[in-house]
């Protein structure tokens, strides 16, 4: 066990866990931030997507001992992010389990490519699975945010 | 005798639920205890209103406080299908509530709430009348209360959303202000309903009430509950079906940082209990457990048995006329064998359940489709009364039928006794969730179809073999209605008919999977119909319209999808279209898929769907369910295949059990065909038609036939 100092959503926290514990479980089980989800554990589904210094990363595959930089989770997006508003406007979620990861991936994508077109959005979001199949509405919501500038 | 057909939705609803009264099976110990609609265990007379803090609560479904906030209890599980918006819409409509004042609460397990099982697309169907009545009763009492205040006749009052109004004098009172007065009145037994023409909510596109929470990461799924003192557990079990865990290094597991305990369960499986989930997973790895091999079973061998079982004989599902005689008059006879594989549910939220067991009390948090069964199990295992077993129904990160099965609930209650008084959350890894699923079974259809020159079906022989999806024969007699759903009675005009079914037993665990028997029977039937169209060079929609002369509902959606898709338009080179139509769970859906081949594999570009589901509660939700059902069915059609080798499931995670990604998703257009009739189900009807629609397009692209799934 070791102590790790992390910055999560603008707050300094310290956790006492083994170095190999993925950031996902530190967030969910130690810090109680359950917005970031466990879907597969092998970086295949995107449900665990967070930002490290603004870049989308899969928290299931990041041992806490190796995390460097400011961590932003879905809880840290503010609640009034244009994507979150678009998600409500376009009635995007169904079960909703994948949606935190979808929004985190989309927000990082749009920060890097604010004028992404449909094919870039499809390519950029392909790491995020949705079993309920709301993909068409995800695409519409992201495109609407691009269109609104 | 199996029966189906979308036309009489009430009969379908009762039969659907009767069919689902399944019992335990040798194969997997699966028991699905489901409340019957209307009668038997969950009768309305048991519904005493629980104590509420609000002054006005005339029934279990709603309460209004002095501020006018209207709380509506949702008594079916929200798994993405939108019941937590649609059911309150029905109440709010008759109540004439201000929709902005509505907040929802998920009802815990209690007989008080009537039937809480969520499956077979029945939530709206089975609750429509009682929810209307619940809202109408409340509105009637609010009007009476206002009339008393104003010393006028109730008949001179009406409502605007959230207000009672006396038009003649212009006076109005809000529901909040009226709530204590209404709360003192007797509940009327036959309240008037609002006229359909006056509807402000039902039929109007309504955004989901839970969308904001889900977009903000605040939605709590089963795997997210965090009662104080929570421990986390994961169970090491044999990979093989029915196998046991043998030797394991429990000491090594206890050495892992964060592990609190290692528990050998009654089943012989080993649970690792820890401070956080990952430590529990690491503890399992440290066990280095040896597993006894599983049952000697493989999907290859099973498919051989299925094929063999379709060669003659089988229980009579429907036999009319003399097929052999009719075949002798056919212009052409088609022979075909259709095969589909096992499929997994692959809900995004892995399997989990949380429990705390203490002296005299049990508390469970479960993302379950059958909360009262969970409560019954808790009572049975703890010896407590049902009233002392509190079951919280969380949001479900997908259900699709898997979460009707309480295996993980039994496991977590057993564990909670070890961790008592601390609560424990049992988490199945994604690998556990996939490998130990209760799969949609494989199936084989063997067809012999005799047609006339114009494509008329003179003889239709369909011999089906499949392990029963529910694991047990559902009805009395030899037929599992669920297994032959969608094939027992084809909607097409046919001369002689001979449909039979053989149950082929296998140790591979099976369970209900979104659209159940329809998920494979629609593929076989609709692809076979298309073979007839191709063999007789008839347009597949025209052919269907001609032989669906007895089914106006299916014709209506076919005509709509033909128009929507521009069916007769010329297509770009290298593209083909396929069509399919299917009825299930009270509704009908026709789909057209436009497909091309990319590097020899099917690429679906566009899908059009026309759905008719009687009265539409929420058109935005209906379209979402059809769109989602199409994507769900398309994943299965292109990639879905679970294989078992030497008793073990070969697949383990999303890299080898692939589902559709956003860059493969077709554009999807959905139209709702109106029909003045009671509501039909919507959660499943989008699924069955997509596989045959794509297969039919592919057959035209490649030539020949497409008789096996997956296609990808």
CA distance A91 to chain B (A): 6
Backbone angles phi, psi at B482, to 5 degrees: -65, -40
- Rounding to the nearest 10 degrees, give the CA dihedral for residues A88, A89, A94, A98: -60
pLDDT value of residue A148 = 93
Torsion over CA: B68, B74, B79, B82 (sign):
negative
Give the pLDDT of residue B114: 94
Contacts of A144 in chain B (CB under 8 A): none
Identify all chain A residues contacting B654, using CB atoms and an 8 Å cutoff: 39-40, 42, 44-45, 129
The CA distance from B461 to B667, in Å, is: 37
The pLDDT, as a whole number, for residue B690 is 98
Which two structure tokens, joined as six digits, stand for B497? 């008919």
Q: Could you tell me if B143 and B154 are in contact, meaning their C-beta atoms sit under 8 angstroms apart?
A: yes
Query: DSSP assignment, residue A22?
Result: B
Q: Are B412 and B273 in contact (CB under 8 A)?
A: no
Rounded Cα distance, B708 and B700, in Å:
15
Contact B348/A128, CB-based, under 8 Å? Answer: no
Low-confidence ranges of chain A (pLDDT < 50): none
Q: Is A61 on the interface with B (CB under 8 A)?
A: no
3-state helix, strand, coil in chain B (%, to 5): 35, 25, 45
Residue in B224, B430, B663 nearest the CB of A123:
B663
Chain B, 338-377: which have a CB under 8 Å from a chain A CB?
Answer: 346-350
B residues 446-475 lying closer than 8 A (beta carbon) to A: none
Which residues in chain A are contacts of B220 at CB distance < 8 A?
34
Cα–Cα distances in Å, from B455 out to B333, B335, B377, B696?
A: 11, 15, 54, 17
Using left for φ > 0, alpha for ψ between -120 and 50, and beta otherwise, residue B407 falls in alpha
DSSP state, A29? I
CA atoms within 13 A on the CB side of B662: 27
Closest CB to A42: pick one of B212, B628, B653. Answer: B653
Of B276, B655, B661, the CB nearest to A25: B276
Closest CA to B174 of B105, B101, B78: B101
In A, which residues are within 8 Å of B624 by CB distance? Answer: 91, 94, 134, 137
Strand order in the sheet with B171-174: B158-160, B163-166, B171-174
CB contact under 8 A, B214 and A32: no
B618-647 residues touching A, CB cutoff 8 A: 620, 624, 627-632, 635
Query: Who's near B572: CB < 8 A, 6+ residues apart?
Result: none
* A:8-37 residues touching chain B, CB 8 A cutoff: 17-18, 20-22, 24-25, 28-30, 32, 34-37
Task: Give the phi and the psi of residue B311 in degrees, each rounded to 5.
Answer: -90, 75
Q: How far apart are CA B306 and CA B337, in angstroms?
A: 11
pLDDT tens for B68-110 read 999 999 999 999 999 999 999 999 999 999 999 999 999 999 9
Token pair belonging to B391: 């079951």
pLDDT of residue B473: 52
Tokens representing A24 are 């996902």
Query: Tell me, what's the pLDDT at A2?
Result: 86
CB-CB contact of B299 with B466 (8 Å): no
Cβ atoms of residues B270 and B285 within 8 Å: no
Yes or no, beta carbons of B257 and A35 under 8 Å apart: no
Residue carrying the six token digits 């059009």 = B608
d(CA B518, CA B101): 40
Say which of B220, B430, B632 has its CB closest to residue A40. Answer: B430
Which residue in B has a C-alpha nearest to residue A26's C-alpha?
B276
B81, B395, B624: residue with CB nearest A91: B624
Residues 6+ apart with CB under 8 A from B191: B133, B136, B137, B139, B140
Cα B664 to its chain centre, rounded Å, is 24
Q: Is B204 on the interface with A (CB under 8 A)?
A: no
The pair of three-digit structure tokens given for residue B617, joined into one six-digit string: 């509660």
Q: Mutation target for A interface from B278, B281, B636: give the one with most A CBs within 10 A.
A: B278
Q: For residue B575, which of B597, B555, B560 has the smallest C-alpha distance?
A: B597
Angle between helices A82-89 and A135-147 (to 10 degrees): 130
Contacts (Cβ under 8 Å, ≥6 apart) of B156? B147, B166, B167, B168
User: Does the distance separating the beta carbons of A132 and B348 come in below 8 Å?
Assistant: yes
Q: What is the rounded distance in angstroms from the CA atom of residue B114 to the CA atom of residue B76?
A: 10
**Candidates B216, B628, B655; nearest CB to A74:** B216
User: Taking the alpha carbons of A25, A29, A35, A39 in that order, is the dihedral positive or negative?
Assistant: positive
Asked if the Cβ–Cβ distance from B632 to A132 is below 8 Å, we say yes
Residues 220 to 249 of B: which have CB under 8 A from any A CB?
220-221, 223-224, 226, 232
Q: Which residues of chain B have pLDDT under 70?
A: 1-47, 470-478
Q: Do the chains contact at B278 and A123, CB–CB below 8 Å? A: no
Residue B392 neighbours by CB under 8 Å, 6+ apart: B106, B108, B225, B363, B364, B365, B366
pTM over 0.90: yes
Cα(B375)–Cα(B664) distance, integer angstroms:
41
- Residue A106 to chain B, least CA–CA distance (Å): 12
Residue B332 forms beta bridges with which residues? B451
Residues listed for chain A: 149
Structure tokens at B610: 């026309």
CA distances from A36 to B28, B202, B352, B384, B427 (A): 33, 35, 16, 36, 16
CA distance A113 to chain B (A): 17
Instruction: Please tell me the predicted confidence (pLDDT) of residue B472.
Output: 52
């Amino acid at each position: 066990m070791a102590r790790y100092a992390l910055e999560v959503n603008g707050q300094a926290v310290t956790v006492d866990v083994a170095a190999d514990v993925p950031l996902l479980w530190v967030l969910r089980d130690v810090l109680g931030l359950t917005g970031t989800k466990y879907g597969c554990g092998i970086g295949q589904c995107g449900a665990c997507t967070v930002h490290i210094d603004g870049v989308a990363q899969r928290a299931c595959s990041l041992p806490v001992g190796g995390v460097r930089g400011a961590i932003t989770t879905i809880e840290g997006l503010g609640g009034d992010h244009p994507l979150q508003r678009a998600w409500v406007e376009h009635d995007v979620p169904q079960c909703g389990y994948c949606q935190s990861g979808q929004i985190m991936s989309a927000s990082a994508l749009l920060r890097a490519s604010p004028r992404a077109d449909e094919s870039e959005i499809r390519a950029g979001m392909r790491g995020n699975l949705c079993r309920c199949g709301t993909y068409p509405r995800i695409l519409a919501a992201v495109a609407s945010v691009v269109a609104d500038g | 005798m199996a029966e189906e057909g979308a036309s009489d939705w009430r009969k379908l609803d009762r039969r659907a639920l009767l069919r689902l009264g399944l019992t335990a099976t040798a194969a997997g110990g699966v028991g699905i205890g489901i409340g019957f609609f209307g009668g038997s265990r969950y009768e309305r007379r048991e519904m005493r209103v629980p104590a509420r803090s609000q002054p006005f609560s005339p029934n279990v479904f709603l309460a209004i406080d002095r501020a006018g906030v209207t709380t509506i209890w949702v008594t079916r599980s929200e798994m993405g299908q939108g019941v937590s918006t649609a059911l309150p819409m029905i109440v709010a409509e008759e109540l004439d509530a201000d929709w902005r004042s509505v907040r929802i609460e998920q009802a815990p397990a209690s007989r008080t709430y009537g039937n809480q099982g969520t499956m077979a697309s029945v939530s709206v169907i089975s609750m429509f009348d009682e929810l209307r009545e619940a809202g109408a009763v409340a509105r009637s009492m609010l009007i009476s209360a206002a009339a008393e205040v104003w010393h006028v006749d109730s008949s001179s009052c009406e409502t605007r959303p959230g207000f009672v109004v006396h038009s003649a004098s212009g006076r109005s009172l809000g529901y909040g202000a009226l709530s204590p007065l209404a709360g003192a009145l007797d509940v009327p037994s036959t309240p008037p309903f609002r006229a359909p023409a006056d509807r402000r909510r039902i039929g109007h596109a309504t955004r989901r009430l839970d969308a904001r929470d889900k977009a903000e990461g605040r939605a709590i799924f089963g795997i997210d509950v965090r009662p104080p003192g929570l421990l986390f557990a994961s169970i090491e079990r044999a990979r093989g079906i029915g196998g046991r865990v043998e030797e394991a290094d429990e000491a090594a597991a206890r050495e892992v940082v964060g592990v609190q305990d290692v528990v050998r369960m009654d089943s012989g499986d080993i649970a690792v209990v820890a401070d956080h989930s990952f430590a529990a997973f690491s503890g399992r790895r440290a066990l280095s457990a040896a597993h006894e091999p599983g049952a000697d079973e493989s999907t290859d061998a099973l498919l051989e048995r299925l094929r063999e079982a379709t060669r003659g004989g089988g229980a009579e599902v429907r036999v009319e006329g003399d097929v052999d005689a009719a075949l002798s008059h056919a212009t052409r006879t088609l022979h075909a064998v259709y095969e589909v594989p096992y499929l997994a549910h692959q809900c995004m939220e892995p399997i989990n359940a949380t429990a705390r067991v203490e002296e005299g009390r049990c508390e469970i948090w479960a993302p379950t489709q059958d909360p009262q069964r969970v409560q019954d199990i808790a009572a049975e295992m703890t010896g407590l009364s049902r009233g002392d077993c509190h079951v919280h129904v969380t949001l479900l990160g997908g259900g699709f039928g898997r979460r009707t099965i309480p295996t993980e609930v039994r496991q977590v209650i057993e564990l909670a006794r070890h961790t008592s008084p601390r609560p424990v959350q049992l988490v199945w890894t994604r690998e556990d969730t996939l490998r130990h699923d209760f799969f949609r079974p494989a199936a084989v259809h063997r067809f012999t179809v005799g047609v006339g020159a114009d494509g008329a079906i003179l003889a239709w022989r369909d011999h089906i073999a499949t392990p029963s999806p529910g694991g047990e024969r559902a009805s009395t007699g030899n037929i599992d209605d669920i297994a032959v759903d969608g094939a027992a009675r084809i909607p097409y005009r046919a001369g002689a008919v001979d449909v039979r079914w053989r149950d082929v037993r296998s140790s591979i665990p099976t369970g209900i999977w979104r659209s159940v028997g329809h998920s494979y029977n629609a593929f076989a039937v609709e692809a076979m119909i298309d073979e007839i169209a191709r063999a007789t060079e008839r347009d597949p929609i025209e052919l269907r319209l001609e032989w669906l002369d007895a089914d106006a509902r299916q014709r209506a959606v076919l005509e709509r999808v033909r128009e929507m898709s521009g069916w007769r338009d010329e297509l770009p080179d290298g593209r083909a279209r396929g069509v399919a139509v299917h009825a299930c769970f009270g509704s009908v859906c026709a789909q057209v898929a436009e497909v091309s081949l990319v590097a020899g594999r099917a690429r679906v570009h566009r899908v059009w769907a026309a759905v008719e589901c009687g009265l539409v509660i929420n058109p935005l939700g209906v379209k979402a369910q059809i769109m989602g059902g199409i994507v769900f069915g398309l994943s299965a059609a292109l990639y879905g295949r679970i294989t078992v080798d030497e008793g073990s499931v070969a697949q383990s995670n999303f890299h080898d059990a692939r589902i559709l990604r956003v860059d493969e998703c077709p554009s999807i257009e959905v139209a709702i065909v109106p029909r003045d009739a009671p509501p039909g189900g919507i959660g499943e009807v989008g699924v069955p038609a997509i596989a045959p629609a794509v297969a039919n397009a592919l057959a035209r692209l490649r030539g020949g036939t497409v008789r096996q799934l997956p296609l990808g």
